[in-house]
Chains A and B, each alone.
Chain A
Amino acid sequence: MSDDADARPYGRRAFLGLLAAGLTSFAWAQPAGRIFAPVTSQFAAALGDLLPVGGWRIYTISGSMPVFDPRTWRLEITGLVRSPVRLGYDDLLALPRARQVSTFHCVTGWTVRDVHWTGVRFEHLLALARPLPAARAIRFVSLEEPYNDSLTLRQAALPDVMLAYEMDGKPLTRAHGSPARVVIPEMYGYKGVKWLTRMELVDSQPTGYWEGLGYDQNAWVGRSNGYG
């Protein structure tokens, strides 16, 4: 207790200083994240699905992820079409292939850069079913019930929108929505329905799963859901 004379209240200063650093990180965390992105994305590549540093997180809404069985899986294209279609996995792979590298943005704030997708453009799928003139949008239904979402036909026709069945050179894994998921890089990920099993052509956009919980129908990156 003889040391009381030279005791300093460094504890509270450290507490307040650290707290200030933490709170101001709302301003500097993103620029810092961008600066460290080359490092963290290397981490992500090295750790793969083990640790999502600068990588993917898997969001689901139900008890367990759907299991893909190539023998029984079908993709149906129904609704306002001239000829309803049922495609098997091999049928899907036989359609003209498209490849792209794009960035994936989640509405919760994380981003994965340079994702390599392989899949099929919607024009080829729609050409099989031939939508009726009244069709305005596609409702995508997931095997993970009750997940569904929709895109207008105009949105589905954007040049980098696809139904992807490969990611980074490998068939889509279960966590990423095997066998096929919707990819629309300009919109937040919740619009990209995973474990797709049905496309319904409709005359107006229905309220999808997340839209029902208050998220925007048009989920443009940086211009929706309270951003921008």
Chain B
Amino acid sequence: MATDRARLRRFSRTERAVHWVHAAAFLVLLATGLALYLPSLSELVGRRPLLKSIHVWTAVAWIVALVFVVAVGDRRSLRATLREVDLFDRDDRDWLLRRGPPQGRLNAGQKVNTIVTGVFAVLFAITGALLWYGERDTRFRFAQTILIHDWLTYVSLVLFLGHLYLSVIHPRTRHSLTGITRGWVYEDWARQHHAKWAAGYRARRDAS
């Protein structure tokens, strides 16, 4: 391996912790949720009461872990990320229409994915809490809740598969996985995929 291949630090430890708490919870919730939901799988797996408990407690652990990471982590890096996701410049807007323009640390698609993931997390948590509590108190039982929880699952499954493809399989983008596992990416890769960020990174480093 070339030792002089420069690396850029892309994600802070806290950002990565948020990502992996979310990812781990999503996978457990998806697996148990599918076993609760798909008739053929329900029959195969059985153990519905146990799966239901795992599903519910994983959801609780997910929220607690997120709060914990935010509480003890580097909140400044999270605030910076939020600001980055919020702002769409002209290149971002153009990128959504026709890929080309140079991108920042997060490209416009990644920003959209972050936003959708955030909204879905909130909606999953609300509908899930209603499903759980509605079993105990009829005033919180709405016929639509389960329908919405289902549709969130369908859409997030599609997003998840796309996310996996781009981060694990697609040859040109899969290097990004290193960024979320180890925190850094190669500079030459960053220059191609996140040109504005790579240029700014170098400028900031040279200035300091």
Contacts and interface: CB of A to CB of B under 8 A. Distances in A.
Interface of A: 1, 3-4, 6-12, 14-15, 18-19, 22-23, 25-26, 29-30, 33, 49-52, 55-65, 107-110, 174-175, 213-214, 225-227
Interface of B: 37-40, 42-43, 46-50, 85-91, 93, 111-112, 115-116, 118-120, 122-123, 126, 131, 134-139, 141-148, 151-152, 196, 200
B87 A11 contact: yes
A214 to B, nearest CB: 7
B141 A225 contact: yes
B143 to A, nearest CB: 4
B115 A15 contact: yes
Given A3-B89, A109-B146, 5 more contacts: A3-B91, A7-B88, A22-B152, A174-B43, A226-B134
Contacts of B112: 14
B159 to A, nearest CB: 13
Given A22-B123, A22-B148, A26-B148, A64 B47 contact: yes
Contacts of A25: 144, 148
Contact of A59 (B48, B50, B136, B200): B48
A64 B46 contact: yes
* Most chain A CB atoms below 10 A, which of B42, B151, B200: B42
Can you list the 6 inter-chain pairs with the closest CB atoms, starting with the nearest?
Answer: A226-B138, A11-B86, A64-B46, A109-B143, A3-B89, A7-B87
A108 B43 CA distance: 19
A15 B43 CA distance: 38
A65 B142 contact: no
Nearest to B154: A53
A30 to B, nearest CB: 5
Contact of A23 (B86, B88, B111, B123): B123
A58 B42 contact: yes
6 contacts: A1-B196, A22-B119, A51-B38, A52-B39, A64-B46, A226-B141
* Most chain B CB atoms below 10 A, which of A18, A26, A109, A175: A109
A60 B46 contact: yes
A25 B122 CA distance: 14
B40 A8 contact: no
Contact of A6 (B86, B90, B135, B147): B90
A23 B118 CA distance: 14
B6 to A, nearest CB: 21
A57 B87 contact: no
B200 A49 contact: no
Contacts of B46: 60, 62-65
Nearest to B138: A226
Contacts of A56: 39
Contacts of A3: 89-91, 196
A52 B144 contact: no
Contacts of B137: 214
B147 A110 contact: yes
Given A61-B49, A109-B147, A214-B136, A1 B200 contact: yes
A50 B40 contact: yes
B146 A110 contact: yes
Nearest to A25: B148
* Most chain A CB atoms below 10 A, which of B90, B142, B143, B146: B143
A203 B15 CA distance: 64
A214 B48 CA distance: 19
B132 to A, nearest CB: 12
Given A7-B88, A61-B49, A49 B39 contact: yes
Given A22-B119, A25-B144, A52-B38, A63 B47 contact: yes
Nearest to B88: A10
Contacts of A14: 112, 115
Nearest to A19: B119
B123 to A, nearest CB: 4
